[in-house]
Amino acid sequence: MPRLIAPFIAAALIAAPAFANPRIVSSTPAPDATVAPISRVEVTFSDKLVTQSTGASLEMIAMPGMKMNTPMKMKVATSIAPDGVTLITTTPKPLPKGTYKLSYHVVSVDTQRADGDLSFKVQ
């Protein structure tokens, strides 16, 4: 009987691929950074992304010297870099001074989803 069980135990002990949500490896600008006016935000993830299920939005959440009751949605285009792991968000022109929040939703090639956001400031 032990001879019959041994192959099943061995098969169970072989490492299977781990499925985990894609996580941020780096971003430009970095979270909570203060930068000069930019027109491009890049977020690199731990896993390759599915283009059709990935996107981002960008909002100005604070403007120097002005009270904002609601965030101002910025016009953006999103794409995946040739490396397959970097989400690129571009604006038609450099962002004016203010505080911004980039919200993203990504799906990795192993169908794991991640949502999140990062904020930065333009001076």
pLDDT digits (tens, 9 = 90+) for 20-67: 789 999 999 999 999 999 999 999 999 999 999 999 999 999 999 888
Residue 59 maps to a domain? yes
pTM: 0.82
The helix (run of H) or strand (run of E) holding residue 2 is: helix 2-13
Q: Please report the DSSP string for 18-79 in residue order.
A: P-----EEEEESPTT-EES--SEEEEEESS-B-GGG-EEEEEEEEBTTB--SSPEEEP-EEE
**Residue 85: which CATH number?**
2.60.40.1220
Is the pLDDT score of 17 beyond 50? no
The pLDDT tens digits for 2-15 are 555 554 444 444 44
Residue 86 falls within a domain, yes or no? Answer: yes
Look at the chain and report how many structural domains it folds into. Answer: 1
In a domain, 16, yes or no: no
The residue behind tokens 């894609």 is: 22
Which residue range forms the structural domain that includes residue 35? 21-122
* Residue 11, in any domain of the structure: no
Residue with tokens 């991640």: 114
Q: Is residue 55 part of a domain?
A: yes
Q: What is the pLDDT of residue 2?
A: 55
Please report whether residue 33 resides in a domain: yes
**pLDDT for res 18:** 52
